[in-house]
């Protein structure tokens, strides 16, 4: 679209006021073309073109480098049409809520909102730690499965019992350990 | 031209503030390596003020001017800001004025926290006369809505 033509169309006074939030209903027959509807670009709907923007295209953007996008964010509903009429008068008569409503009709996010930090570092750290622990567990599981050897023969019950008899005969732990619990006169455990 | 302030005391004493690098430059004199004339700060201010002071300016030109000036490596003088706000009044667009103030606020906070209160103080007469709310008045100095970022869609 030629720039001068789009600029001529971008009148700040008249804009298409849409009554319902749904612009095109696919279930119904397509509406007949008229002058107002011909201003309705397929991609932007009934929103008003107000500026040049980035490259002359009627697209909305929230950028720090370019504060003013080329189209308004919302199309004019009857309520905002009333507010726009009030905006042509004294701005001191506008309440804070009305001014905020007007701002949100023209822009999607405030500067503070689209420059706020995303908190991505929390996700990165969390998933990094989860991945690290998952790898550790997988490695340990692999070692337990792949390197599952039989127990040595000296871990059988009879051999362990015999080892304990040897320890007691050699008086291992006489003060507070194993042999202190064995009664050598009777040859049994102490009561 | 550029509004890089050195200290609160300096800004309280003098109205015209020179950029930091000009102090080093003026001692050796401005030398033009190219053949074209360099614009002085006053000429720059006058040019932009004349641009916004046009009585029949429309929203398209205001937005062009704001976008262009935002890309330059400077924060506009309060006179230019006032001229732009009055231009917004002529086209009956209050949200555009708030957006402009937000852009200047963001840019000045990148330099120093002392700049924005000074700018507000300088343009307070214009704000009161036209009835423009600052971003702080609307509560837009903190994020209000938690919308999904465009990069995450």
Q: Which of B62, B89, B99 lies at the smallest CB-CB distance from A107?
A: B99
pLDDT above 90 coverage of chain B, percent: 67
Test A112 with B141 for CB contact under 8 angstroms: yes
pLDDT at residue B21 tops 60: no
State residue A28's pLDDT score: 80
Average pLDDT on A55-74 reads 91
pLDDT bin (cut points 50, 70, 90) of residue A104 is very high
| B62 to chain A: closest CA residue | A51
Whether A99 and B149 lie within 8 Å, measured CB to CB: no
A94, closest residue in chain B (CA to CA): B131
Q: Are B100 and B75 in contact (CB under 8 A)?
A: no
Cβ-based contacts under 8 A for chains A and B: 115
**Distance between B151 CA and the closest CA of chain A, angstroms:** 10
The C-alpha atoms of residue A177 and residue A172 are separated, in whole angstroms, by 7
What pLDDT does B152 receive? 82
What are the φ and ψ backbone dihedral angles of A30, each rounded to 5 degrees? -65, 140
Q: Average pLDDT of A162-173?
A: 95
Which chain A residue is nearest to residue B65, measuring alpha carbons?
A68
With bands split at pLDDT 50, 70 and 90, how would you rate the model's confidence at B150? confident
Q: What is the average per-residue pLDDT within B51-60?
A: 93
- With cut-offs at 50, 70 and 90, classify the pLDDT of residue A9: low
Note whether B120 and B98 are within 8 A (CB). no
Q: Where are the domains of chain B?
A: 41-138
If one compares A34 and B38, the residue with the highest pLDDT of the two is B38
Identify the DSSP state of A90. Answer: -
Higher-pLDDT residue of B46 and B17 is B46
Burial of A127 (0-12, 13-18, 19+ CB in 10 A): exposed
DSSP assignment of A14-25, as one string? --PBPSSS----
Is B108 in contact with B119 (CB distance < 8 Å)? yes
What's the confidence (pLDDT) of residue A1? 52
The pLDDT of residue B44: 92
What whole-number distance in Å separates Cα of residue A32 and Cα of residue A185? 115
C-alpha distances (whole Å) from A28 to each of A25, A40, A41, A43 are: 6, 18, 19, 19
Q: Do B137 and A96 touch (CB under 8 A)?
A: yes
Which among B61, B96, B144, B149 is the top mutation candidate for probing chain A, defined by the most A β-carbons within 10 Å of its own β-carbon?
A: B96
Residue A40's pLDDT is: 64
Q: How far apart are CA A59 and CA A88, in angstroms?
A: 26
Q: Which residues of chain A are within 8 Å of residue B152 when distances are taken between CB atoms?
A: 118
Above 50 in pLDDT, residue A118? yes
> How close A113 gets to chain B, by Cα (Å)?
5
Q: Does the pLDDT at position A116 exceed 50?
A: yes
Give the residue among A178, A151, A181, A184 at the shortest CA–CA distance from A164.
A178
Q: What pLDDT does residue A5 have?
A: 65
Residues with Cβ within 8 Å of residue B120, at least 6 apart in sequence = B127, B134
Cβ contact A91–B131 (<8 Å): yes
The residue that leads in pLDDT, A164 or A28, is A164
pLDDT in tens, B113-140: 999 999 999 999 999 999 999 999 999 9
Please tell me the predicted confidence (pLDDT) of residue A7.
73
Mean per-residue pLDDT over chain A, rounded: 87
- Note whether A35 and A8 are within 8 A (CB): no
CATH numeric code, B41-138: 1.25.40.40
């Amino acid at each position: 679209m030629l720039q001068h033509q789009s600029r001529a169309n971008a009148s700040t006074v008249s804009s298409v006021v849409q009554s319902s939030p749904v612009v095109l209903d696919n279930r119904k027959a397509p509406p007949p073309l008229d002058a107002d509807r011909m201003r309705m670009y397929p991609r932007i709907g009934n929103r008003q073109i107000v500026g040049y923007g980035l490259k002359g295209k009627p697209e909305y953007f929230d950028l720090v480098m370019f504060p003013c996008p080329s189209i308004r964010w919302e199309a004019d509903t009857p309520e905002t049409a009333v507010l726009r009429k009030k905006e042509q008068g004294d701005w001191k008569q506008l309440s804070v809520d009305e001014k905020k409503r007007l701002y949100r009709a023209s822009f999607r996010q405030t500067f503070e909102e689209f420059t706020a930090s995303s908190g991505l570092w929390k996700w990165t750290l969390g998933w990094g730690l989860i991945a690290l622990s998952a790898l550790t567990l997988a490695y340990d599981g692999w070692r337990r499965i792949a390197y599952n050897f039989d127990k040595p023969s000296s871990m059988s019950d009879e051999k362990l019992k015999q080892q304990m008899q040897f320890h007691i005969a050699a008086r291992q732990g006489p003060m507070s350990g194993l042999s202190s619990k064995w009664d050598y006169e009777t040859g049994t455990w102490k009561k | 031209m550029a509004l890089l302030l050195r200290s609160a005391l300096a800004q309280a004493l003098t109205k015209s503030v020179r950029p930091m690098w000009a102090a080093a430059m003026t001692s050796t004199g401005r030398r033009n390596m190219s053949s074209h004339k360099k614009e002085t700060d006053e000429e720059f201010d006058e040019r932009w003020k004349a641009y916004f002071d046009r009585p029949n300016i429309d929203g398209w030109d205001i937005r062009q001017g704001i976008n262009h000036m935002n890309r330059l490596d400077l924060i506009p003088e309060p006179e230019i800001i006032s001229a732009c706000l009055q231009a917004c009044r002529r086209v009956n667009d209050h949200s555009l004025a708030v957006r402009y103030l937000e852009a200047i606020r963001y840019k000045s906070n990148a330099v120093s926290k002392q700049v924005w209160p000074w700018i507000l103080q300088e343009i307070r007469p214009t704000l009161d006369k036209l009835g423009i709310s600052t971003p702080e008045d609307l509560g837009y100095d903190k994020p209000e809505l938690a919308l999904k970022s465009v990069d995450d869609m």
